[in-house]
A and B are shown apart, each in its own frame.
Chain A
Amino acid sequence: MITLKEGNWRIPKWNRKVFAVAGGLTNYRKFCPEMKIEEQAMVAFRQMLENNDLRFSPVEIKGLVNFLACGSFADHFQDQLLCEAKVTDYLGLDPMYDIGIKTGGATGGSTVLTAAMAIASGYADVALAIGWERMSEVDTRTGNYYIATAACKDFETRLSRIYSAYYAPMAVRFAWAYNLSEETRAKVAVKNHLYAYYSPYSQQPGKYTIQDVLNSPMSTYPLRFLECCAMTDGAACMLLCDEKTAYKLTDKPCELFIAGGSHTLRVADRRDMEIPLLPHETPEMYRGLRKKEGQRWPGFESFAAARFAAYFAYRMAGITNPLKELDLVELHDAFTISDIQTYGDIGLRPYGQEPDYIESGDAYFGGKCPANLSGGLIGTMHAVGATGIFSGVECLWQLQGKYDKFHGDRRIWDSFGKKKPEDWKSLQVPNAKQALWISHAGVGSHVTAGILRKAF
């Protein structure tokens, strides 16, 4: 049993406020042969500098940057060690110091966290968080194996060599413990593919029905291909500043809080432990939770890393009731099941009632707290090192009221060689003030929870 002492529970605190002011994305695709990875990083960087209504010219902004956090997950995909040096040089930011960040699927979140720490500590006034991945260097099955080396090499990797096989047991167990239907899982896939339909950046847009999802080929039972994210080539970046610089650069800065949690790579080793409570929860809520034989927390049902990330981030940001105080969320829906599991971890529903977040309609556009209006990982992208930045950027644009600007502008669609759908609709959440995004690695080995708050 993991027991935590006082120091472990300390709530992270910035020494000074941190703000996000701008973001940039790329046209996410499975295989992007026309550009090298640093060239894709440039595309995201240019969008960030040129299209975010910043008051300074791109060259002036570059003159303010004094730190870079660079996220990329897998050296064996790109086959280029120290790629961050190539990217920093390519963006023309030499000789500013860049640190390479690597925490699996949570690399993007950890990259933003690192850049934020640089601002909060005073190391930097302006920091660039940039992430990328180039997964198309290998064929899909080799890619599946490469990703599966993010399971325990000695005890797990040889048992599947594909990541869906590490989430599928969670789906089976969750369904048994908390009555999750296949239809509810499929609804998550339908929703996120649909929201991707409105995004020019998306790799897997589609108008699917629940039956389409359930009839799609099986990856690892019970997870179908339409319930799984794809492999992606692409990049994303976000510009972070201290308070003074933020208001100089933009009239629409958002305050940033972000914290993380980790847990052992092997789900097998997740011993039963006390559930750390979120601000709005009470011990009584979970008295009857582990009533079935062999149940443990977090076990195969939940992610302690996500719970800890939320535990710290909510307190850091002063959030007392997430469902009430968050206007939207971007979750790490690598698989439908991991998306659903996370609803409990971050308190959108109490543990055991996660499916209700979908079934109630809360998770949809127009609902209480819509999730993954970007299309998420299932619909839009999972260029691993960029993902946790992409999700944050989508939150930032929502809070700045710029969903339409960045998703509805025909010129963006055209520049990606895509046709803007005739029935395109805006997914701008009216008056959004606060958003949360999750960046998640492994089978829940690392999770960051980032919160952006409108500061204008």
Chain B
Amino acid sequence: MASKRKTTKYTGKPAKVLQSEPAIVIEWPRSLAHRHTYGKLSPFFKGLTEGKLLATKCVNRECGEHRLWLPPRADCPDCNQPMVWEELPQPIIGTVHTYARVEYAGAGIELTTPYFQIDVELPGVCTIFKGYLQHGTPEIGMKVKACFRTEDPSNTILDMYWIPVPSDADVRS
């Protein structure tokens, strides 16, 4: 019955007008939290929090690719068969393939700028693994060692970082 129907009320928060000339521009707030799954890569992210670096490997004998994958993937792109996990032996020493110094990062950055992002070659791995250098200055060919943020982990890829491996000359001096 129409007479008993309650009046519809506005319950929102008025949009802030940012400018009114040459056209009205309002603020449109958005604040969202997504639920994101690590899916079959969950062992990798759990591994980081335990100080382990886990890669995947195709064990299909008919496949042509038997090197490790890092970032890992659960299934082999060459033969489409499920892969198996393999932990990299410690210490994990890689070689800087290339690098960049991030000075101006986008919103939400969780590292203090400027910092060095590095791409690391690892023996027996068919891919090149992106990470960041905690201290020091990278150059192509430099040796770096993997470290893990096992205390108070971020539960993201940032739980792993690299530090320079002192060269023989540095050790002697």
Residues on A facing B (Cβ under 8 Å):
1-3, 33-35, 79, 137, 139, 141-148, 152-156, 158-162, 164-165, 168-173, 176, 217-222, 266-269, 271, 293-294, 300
When chains A and B are docked, how far (Å) is the Cα of A137 from the Cα of B29? 11
From A144, A168, A266, A300, contact of B71 by CB (8 A): A266
In the assembled complex, how far is the CB of residue B58 from the closest CB belonging to chain A, in whole angstroms? 12
Q: Is B117 an interface residue (CB 8 A)?
A: yes
Q: Is B25 an interface residue (CB 8 A)?
A: yes
In the assembled complex, how far is the CB of residue B166 from the closest CB belonging to chain A, in whole angstroms? 21
When chains A and B are docked, how far (Å) is the Cα of A172 from the Cα of B156? 26
Q: Is B134 an interface residue (CB 8 A)?
A: no
B107 and A165 contacting across the interface, CB-CB below 8 Å: no
In the assembled complex, how far is the CB of residue A120 from the closest CB belonging to chain B, in whole angstroms? 31
Interface window among B3-11, B85-93, B125-133, B144-152:
B125-133
Those 3 A-B pairs whose CB atoms lie nearest each other, nearest first:
A144-B106, A168-B100, A161-B106
- Interface membership of chain B positions 115-144, coded 1 if the CB is closer than 8 angstroms to chain A and 0 otherwise: 001010100001111111000000011000
Known: A137-B28, A158-B158, A268-B71. A221 touches B103 (CB 8 A): yes
Residues from chain B with Cβ under 8 Å of A169 in the complex: 98-100, 117, 119
Residues from chain A with Cβ under 8 Å of B117 in the complex: 159-160, 165, 168-169, 220
A220 and B110 contacting across the interface, CB-CB below 8 Å: no
When chains A and B are docked, how far (Å) is the Cα of A34 from the Cα of B22? 6
A154 and B64 contacting across the interface, CB-CB below 8 Å: no
**How many residues of chain B are within 8 Å of chain A by beta carbon?**
46
In the assembled complex, how far is the CB of residue B169 from the closest CB belonging to chain A, in whole angstroms? 20
B102 and A160 contacting across the interface, CB-CB below 8 Å: yes
In the complex, which residue of chain B has the Cβ closest to the Cβ of A142? Answer: B107
In the assembled complex, how far is the CB of residue A215 from the closest CB belonging to chain B, in whole angstroms? 14
How many inter-chain residue pairs (CB < 8 Å) link A and B? 136
In the assembled complex, how far is the CB of residue A292 from the closest CB belonging to chain B, in whole angstroms? 9
A79 and B30 contacting across the interface, CB-CB below 8 Å: yes
From B23, B30, B71, B131, contact of A152 by CB (8 A): B71
When chains A and B are docked, how far (Å) is the Cα of A169 from the Cα of B116? 10
In the complex, which residue of chain A has the Cβ closest to the Cβ of B126? Answer: A271
Known: A33-B25, A165-B105, A218-B103. A294 touches B95 (CB 8 A): yes
B127 and A145 contacting across the interface, CB-CB below 8 Å: no
In the complex, which residue of chain B has the Cβ closest to the Cβ of A76? Answer: B30
Residues from chain B with Cβ under 8 Å of A147 in the complex: 106
Given contacts A154-B38, A158-B156, A217-B103, 14 further A-B pairs with CB under 8 A are A1-B65, A34-B22, A139-B107, A144-B106, A158-B157, A161-B109, A164-B104, A169-B98, A172-B98, A218-B104, A222-B100, A269-B127, A300-B119, A300-B128
A162 and B28 contacting across the interface, CB-CB below 8 Å: no
A162 and B102 contacting across the interface, CB-CB below 8 Å: yes
In the assembled complex, how far is the CB of residue B150 from the closest CB belonging to chain A, in whole angstroms? 18
In the assembled complex, how far is the CB of residue B109 from the closest CB belonging to chain A, in whole angstroms? 5
Residues from chain A with Cβ under 8 Å of B119 in the complex: 169, 267-268, 300
When chains A and B are docked, how far (Å) is the Cα of A35 from the Cα of B132? 42
Sample of 25 A–B contacts (CB below 8 Å) = A33-B19, A34-B23, A142-B106, A145-B106, A145-B108, A148-B106, A154-B38, A155-B157, A160-B117, A161-B106, A162-B106, A165-B105, A165-B117, A169-B99, A173-B140, A176-B98, A217-B103, A218-B103, A266-B71, A267-B128, A268-B127, A269-B69, A271-B127, A294-B97, A300-B98
